[in-house]
Structure 1
Amino acid sequence: MNQAILKPEVQNFLRDHIQASPASIALGKSPFPDVSAPELAEQLDGMKRAQKKLPQWFNTTNIYYPGLLGLEQSSSSLTGAYKRGLINVGSSIVDITGGFGVDDYYFAQRAQQVIHCERNASLSRIAEHNAKQLGVTNIQFFPNDGIGYLHSSDKVFDFIYIDPSRRVKQQKVFRLSDCEPDVVMHGPLLKQRGKTVLIKAAPLLDIQAAVHELSGVTDVHIISVHNECKELLFVLRNNPTNAITFHCVALSNKTSDILRFNEEQEKTSQPVFDNPGRYLYEPDAALLKAGCFKYTAVHFNLSKLHQHTHLYTSETFKEGFIGRCFEVIKVETYSDFKKNKNSTQGNVSTRNFPLKPQELKKKHKIKDGGDQYLFFCTGPQEQLLVLFCRKR
């Protein structure tokens, strides 16, 4: 850490230039003899990213930002606050891959004791400094390897939290056993030292493959923010139940919606298939990632357009759906749509359709944008359809 970055004049400079491009700051001359232009650019970039991702940090004075990777891999305020709710009040938790410390900030609001382990000593110091600025006093910081810390301690924690790095030798990896640390190999140690183990994973990870890799999974949380799947969270316990509960969590700045189900419910659900009615429902990314296709229809009392078309419909509007809702203005077969050859404008989406949105826009000269939404999909009689909709 360069302590000069925390001087009032430097912090004021960063705030005054919040609309500036970090690249332009990096290429310019620093007005401060003890802070370089690249350092200013790095802090400005972190501040700009925090403005949306971590508003609590952005609105707190004298926050020190790490390099790009440290911020990219951190949780957001929305996901951190959600995970806070999984921690018991008065519990103990050790985060063996502490990083920038966002999750630990939220854990500390419920836990009595939080241990932050981070083998990058510089990042550990940054997280400790920021915790003080944020007014948190119940986090202990250890600039050590988290697995080594568990080996050296004989304490059993209520929770162990781990966010293994998905970058190994500068390359992205997608299996848990390829991440660092290897949570599959260290599984026995984790469950020996923690009554409950929470493993954060990237949204691209195959959920079923991860469940098979791990032992003792009781819950899987699939978390989306503004309809974009952001992370997976696997919960491991020493006394697992037979049925894993999947939590589809859709977060936004205004709402928090959750749908829970298990594999048996999805397997045995028997949705009704029907033609598009007055209303169309597009499931949130968390539902799609979880593979909650049939149970979604049954749970919300909706009809499904086709076994492999993950769109739902109803004649009367159904409140509480987790996803986007539309009013259907017109339905055409794709063959009629091609014959009409009318130029149109709209936001194009495809579901179970042979062509991709970009191909359709180019082929039919569809202009992007506007209030109209065009869904190209397969209907219940295997017919290719075009649904003209507007957002409800």
Structure 2
Amino acid sequence: MNRNILHKEVQDYIKANRQLDPAVVAFKKSPFPDVSPSELAAQIDGWQRACKKLPTWAYSANIYYPDKINLEQCSSEHTALVKQSLIRKGSKVVDLTGGFSVDSCYIAQEAHIVVHCELNEKLSQIVKHNAEQLGVRNLVPLHTDGVKFVEEQEDDSLDYIYIDPSRRVNHAKVFLLEDCEPNIVELQDMFFRKSRYILCKLSPLMDINSALQKLKHVKLLYVISVDGDCKELLFLQDRDFNGETTITAIRLFSDQLQNISFTPEEEKSTLVKTSEPLNYLYDPDVAITKAGAFKSVAKAFGLFKLHTHTHLYTSENLVKDFPGRIFKIQNVYSLGEFKKLNTFAKANVATKNFPIKVDEIRKKFKIKDGGADFLYFLTDYAENHIVIHCSKVE
């Protein structure tokens, strides 16, 4: 950590030039003998990345930005708020895997103390400095191995262990829970001796059913999307809990939040009617589909499915608060009719439970991407291949 970056004249320079392309700054001569052009560029790049993802950091004075990879891997403030909501007031928390401390800073708003364990000494120093600038007084950054730190604590001395295991091991991506570092499957019994709760953030690429089989005492599972992109899976394990996991899909978009909760048994036992396309079409958010709430979302919002395995929904009347995209249906064609009548030179094309891929459809029907028209190619409740022409409800 180059503390010369924190000098007032350097901070003023960064603020005055933070709208510039960092690559341009990196190739200009630095006006400061103790701060290199690449360091100035890295701070400007960090600020630009933080503007949308971490506005509290971006618009606080004297924030020191870490390496780009640390900013790419850290949580957004929106998802950090979800974690904060799961922490009981006055708790003692250990953030076992550290990082840029976005989650730790939000968890600290509820906790009595948060110990932030980070193996990278430079990053640990940055976290300490930024916590002071942000006024987070109960965050204790330690340059240490989080697993060893927890092992050294007395049994039942912690309330929560928060962990975000690395999905990159020896520079290669891993997809099995037990291959992540640290191996939480192997360590969870030790964690439960030290703490009642384990809060674990996992990649959205992880298989939910597999994770639920391997993790013990999972009370709550959150599937979180931000602006249509599934960002993370959040598992809350409670060593005193032995019931069925409650799954909540959370859609965060445009500073709004939508959610739906269900259990696997409720999803399995729910009966949903199918229907021909009515007046409105509903395409669920990725958080809904990743969570597996295919029937639960239909029940919650009083919708019909177009087919048991076609995860699109329909209704006579508009359901404004549906968690996903909503369309007004203009026309419905059989595939044969569409072949004869196709007049769409440009449209947004999507497929659901359909044998032909989008690229092939575009090529076959000479449809360019974009415009205000949406075409859904799908299989309906009667096993017919149909095309729904619709327009988006804003």
The TM-score bracket by the shorter chain reads: over 0.9
Q: Does the alignment pair 1:203 with 2:204?
A: yes
SS of 2:71's partner is: helix
Cα deviations by residue, 1:130-182 (Å, 9 ceiling, x for unpaired): 11111110111111000010111115211110001111111111112111111
Aligned to 1:176: 177
Aligned to 1:160: 161
Aligned to 1:103: 103
Q: Does the alignment pair 1:288 with 2:279?
A: no
Which segments of 5 or more consecutive residues in structure 1 lack a partner in the other structure?
Answer: none
SS of 1:371's partner is: strand
Structure 1 pair 23–362 and aligned structure 2 pair: CA distance change class (3 A): farther
Aligned to 1:115: 115
SS of 2:161's partner is: strand
Aligned to 1:83: 83
Cα deviations by residue, 1:186-217 (Å, 9 ceiling, x for unpaired): 11111111111001000100011111121221
The letter for the 1-side match of 2:76 is: S
More divergent stretch after superposition (249-258 vs 75-84): 249-258
Structure 1 residue ranges, 4+ long, deviating more than 4 angstroms after superposition: none
Cα deviations by residue, 1:102-157 (Å, 9 ceiling, x for unpaired): 00110111111111111111111111111111111011111100001011111521
Aligned to 1:306: 307
Answer whether contact 1:78 1:252 (CA < 8 A) is retained.
no
The letter for the 1-side match of 2:51 is: Q
The letter for the 2-side match of 1:79 is: T
Residues of 1 paired with 2:134 and 2:255: CA distance?
23
Give the deviation of 1:324 after TM superposition. Answer: 1.3
Structure 1 pair 365–15 and aligned structure 2 pair: CA distance change class (3 A): farther
Cα deviations by residue, 1:228-282 (Å, 9 ceiling, x for unpaired): 1100011111122321110111112421111110011110111111111100111
Answer whether contact 2:378 2:385 (CA < 8 A) is retained.
yes
Residues of 2 paired with 1:342 and 1:324: CA distance?
24
Answer whether contact 1:117 1:141 (CA < 8 A) is retained.
yes
Give the deviation of 1:386 after TM superposition. Answer: 1.3
Answer whether contact 1:156 1:195 (CA < 8 A) is retained.
no
Structure 1 pair 319–342 and aligned structure 2 pair: CA distance change class (3 A): closer
Cα deviations by residue, 1:48-83 (Å, 9 ceiling, x for unpaired): 110111011100111111112111111001000121
Give the deviation of 1:45 after TM superposition. Answer: 1.5
Aligned to 1:340: 341
Aligned to 2:328: 327
Residues of 2 paired with 1:67 and 1:73: CA distance?
10
Aligned to 1:259: 260
Aligned to 1:3: 3
Answer whether contact 1:95 1:162 (CA < 8 A) is retained.
yes
Aligned to 1:17: 17
Aligned to 2:66: 66
Answer whether contact 1:347 1:374 (CA < 8 A) is retained.
yes
Cα deviations by residue, 1:25-62 (Å, 9 ceiling, x for unpaired): 22332222211122122212211110111011100111
Instruction: State the superposition RMSD in angstroms.
Output: 1.3
Residues of 1 paired with 2:25 and 2:174: CA distance?
33
Aligned to 1:386: 387
Q: Does the alignment pair 1:227 with 2:228?
A: yes
Answer whether contact 2:219 2:241 (CA < 8 A) is retained.
yes
TM-score (norm 1): 0.97
Residues of 1 paired with 2:65 and 2:356: CA distance?
44
SS of 1:131's partner is: helix
Give the deviation of 1:329 after TM superposition. Answer: 1.0
Q: How does 1:359-370 map to 2 (within 5 A)?
A: 359-370=360-371
The letter for the 2-side match of 1:141 is: P
Structure 1 pair 29–237 and aligned structure 2 pair: CA distance change class (3 A): same
SS of 1:174's partner is: coil
Answer whether contact 1:97 1:146 (CA < 8 A) is retained.
yes
Residues of 1 paired with 2:147 and 2:323: CA distance?
38
Which segments of 5 or more consecutive residues in structure 2 lack a partner in the other structure?
Answer: none
The letter for the 1-side match of 2:86 is: L
Give the deviation of 1:357 after TM superposition. Answer: 2.1
SS of 1:185's partner is: helix
SS of 1:186's partner is: helix
Give the deviation of 1:11 after TM superposition. Answer: 2.1
Aligned to 2:359: 358
Structure 1 pair 130–361 and aligned structure 2 pair: CA distance change class (3 A): same
Q: Does the alignment pair 1:46 with 2:16?
A: no
Residues of 2 paired with 1:375 and 1:300: CA distance?
21
Aligned to 2:193: 192
